[in-house]
């Protein structure tokens, strides 16, 4: 009786909480409902990470499986103005980490599970060389790629709170939100101040937060050729 009541309460409060979110839910699946869509690298030829809406622990969650693959499940956004207050909240669980991954090195930069926020930083604030690379990537991709990305990652070695740039590009910066084997196969709750994190990570380029253009969930194992498995639930973006 108590478990049923508790589950019902959690469902009702979850729905109420989600009503304030700027993101649409996953849907009933198995494929995530629009505007969620899978996106990869420009002209990607390698396998795509697999995303599936499944039932787990009595709820609909996003299953994320990478196997020598790359990909993100993206929710585009069109906000009228740059945010002054923005919170990202979600629950996630990692069942299979990538033991060989090390996001500090180009050859092993893989991530078993991540939640990313995409910004449209003005091109004038992007360093010159990266600006040219980004313009070329946008042409090749045929879509508007973000000029600044903050990714919250579940790492296998770095301490929680570690912040660093991707070794591939300064347009992507990481924050380690979970780490190590202690929390494997357990649901963990996260809540992040997106505005504060952007200013902390991209403060060398801007002292104001640019418009937000999307949110994504991803995993990649194309560098280490490993396999990872994780889940994400109740992902919300709250003004």
| Domain residue ranges of the chain, discontinuous segments joined by + | 23-238
Give the pLDDT band of residue 18 (cuts 50, 70, 90).
low
> Would you state the pLDDT for residue 142?
74
Using a cut of 0.75, tell me whether the model's pTM lies above it.
Answer: yes
- Greatest distance between any 2 Cα atoms in the chain: 62
CB 185 within 8 A of CB 230: no
Over residues 196-232, the pLDDT tens digits come to 999 999 999 999 999 999 999 999 999 999 999 999 9
pLDDT per residue as tens digits for the range 110-136: 999 999 999 999 999 999 999 999 999
Q: Which residue has the tokens 């357990």?
A: 186
Burial (0-12, 13-18, 19+ Cβ within 10 Å), 146: buried
Residues 6+ away with beta carbon under 8 Å from 145? 134, 137, 138
Q: Which CATH superfamily is domain 23-238 in?
A: Galactose-binding domain-like (2.60.120.260)
* C-alpha 197: how far from chain center: 14
Q: What is the pLDDT of residues 27-40, one digit of tens each?
A: 988 999 999 999 99
């Amino acid at each position: 009786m108590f478990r049923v009541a508790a589950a019902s309460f959690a469902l009702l409060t979850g729905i109420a909480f989600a009503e304030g979110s700027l993101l649409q839910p996953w849907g009933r699946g198995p494929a995530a409902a629009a505007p969620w869509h899978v996106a990869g690298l420009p002209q990607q030829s390698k396998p795509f990470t697999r995303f599936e809406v499944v039932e787990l622990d009595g709820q609909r969650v996003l299953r994320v499986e990478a196997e020598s693959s790359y990909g993100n499940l993206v929710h585009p956004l069109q906000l009228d103005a740059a945010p002054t207050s923005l919170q990202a909240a979600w629950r996630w669980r990692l069942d299979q980490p990538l033991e060989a991954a090390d996001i500090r090195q180009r050859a092993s930069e893989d991530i078993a599970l991540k939640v990313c926020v995409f910004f449209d930083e003005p091109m004038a604030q992007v360093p010159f060389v990266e600006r040219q690379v980004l313009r070329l990537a946008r042409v090749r991709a045929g879509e508007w790629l973000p000029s600044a990305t903050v990714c919250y990652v579940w790492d296998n070695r770095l301490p929680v709170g570690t912040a660093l740039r991707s070794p591939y590009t300064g347009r992507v910066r990481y924050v380690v939100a979970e780490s190590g084997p202690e929390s494997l196969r357990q649901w963990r709750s996260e809540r992040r101040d997106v505005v504060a994190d952007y200013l902390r990570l991209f403060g060398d380029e801007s002292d104001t937060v640019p418009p937000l253009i999307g949110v994504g969930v991803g995993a990649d194992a194309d560098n280490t050729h490993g396999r990872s498995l994780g889940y994400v639930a109740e992902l919300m973006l709250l003004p």
